[in-house]
Homo-oligomer: A and B are copies of this chain.
Amino acid sequence: MLQFAQFGAGRIGAIHAANLAASGQAALRHVVDVNAAAAAGLAARHGARVSTTEEALTDPEVGAVIIASSTDTHAALVIAAAEAGKAIFCEKPIDLSLARVDAAIAAVEAAGVPMLVGFNRRFDPDFAALRRRIAEGAIGTVEQVVVTSRDPGLPPIDYLKVSGGQFRDMTIHDFDMARWLLDEEPVEVFAYGAALVDPAVAAVGDIDSCMVLLRTASGRMAHINNSRRAAYGYDQRIEVHGSLGRLMAGNRTPTTVELANTAAVSTDTPLHFFLERYAEAYRIELAAFVAAVAAGVPMPVGAADGRQALVLADAALLSLRERRPVRVGEIA
């Protein structure tokens, strides 16, 4: 049974630890977190010990690590874990700086350890079905992808200050979806963005609403729209138009209940946020990691995917700043 050390005992860390416990295929051995109380709580809940990074990485029983700590610690932990020969499950993004991402990837490659980058949406049953049916030929050649992705509400401004900005923090998931479903690498990005939700966002140099276009060499196109605030909750939809038809995946709701009264016929708003919407995706993602480690096969989403989504985010940011389309080659 694969033994894990986990870095980060916060919200997403708790999800991964619970999924580990329920999988029956792996066990949590070390929890590392600067917040001692959080580490202790999570360790106690799953029969693990609270450790330092060094203790965790030098334990020969540990075969894999989960990196779910704050973004600025990811790259150094990836490098240390790679050097220690551990399989790596790293939450996105690897880093906000491409240079540090490249350093981390170099260490992973040098060590020859497997690494999965946490693009959880690839494991969402709905989006995975889109990809599978495209691969099966259900809609012929892909021509257009439309990704709608809106959060239920603005995060704290203090979070935004260290988030890397909307493109790197939020849209990065959508860039990954667009790449994955276009079935051909985007070569150019154009972006509009604004702080429409709250002027405080503009005050810290960020945006909260954006619309992006991507283009591939053969002319395929993708559109992404984002908002940091949707009154009706977490809006996660993807549409793919191809030569033989159209695929769409929509929101999930708490119940299927429909009420009809004098005013309207009404149904539930979508599942609240990513923890609810992607609960199943997180479970499948971790299981896929454990299975790939066990089988010694390539990771379903790897370091190069993590890097390329960041490149697209950086290209979008440059496009917004310079008010022009940016070729991916300018960034990478």
Contact = CB atoms under 8 A, between A and B. Distances in A.
Contacts of A324: 324-325
A139 B150 CA distance: 15
A232 interface: yes
A222 to B, nearest CB: 8
Given A144-B225, A235-B246, A126 B256 contact: yes
Contacts of A260: 230-232, 235, 245-248, 269
A273 interface: no
Contacts of A102: none
A133 to B, nearest CB: 7
B262 A144 contact: no
Interface string A194-238: 111100000000000111010100111111010101111001000
Given A209-B221, A243-B231, A138 B265 contact: no
A246 B259 contact: yes
Contact of A22 (B22, B125, B254, B266): B22
Copies of this chain in its oligomeric complex: 4
Q: Which of A138, A140, A243, A254 is most buried by chain B, counting CB atoms within 10 A of its CB?
A: A243
Given A196-B219, A221-B211, A232-B245, A264 B261 contact: no
Interface in A128-142: 129-130, 133, 138-141
Nearest to A215: B192
Interface residues on A, range: 35 or more
Given A195-B219, A261-B139, A246 B266 contact: no
A146 interface: yes
Interface string A93-131: 000000000000000000000000000000001100110
A241 interface: yes
Contacts of A252: 256
A289 interface: no
Contacts of A243: 196-197, 229, 231
A258 interface: yes
Given A138-B259, A196-B219, 7 more contacts: A129-B257, A133-B259, A195-B219, A231-B262, A246-B261, A248-B257, A264-B267
23 contacts: A129-B254, A138-B259, A139-B259, A139-B261, A141-B196, A144-B225, A146-B223, A194-B218, A194-B219, A211-B213, A211-B223, A225-B241, A229-B243, A232-B245, A232-B246, A235-B246, A244-B262, A245-B261, A249-B258, A263-B266, A264-B264, A264-B267, A264-B269
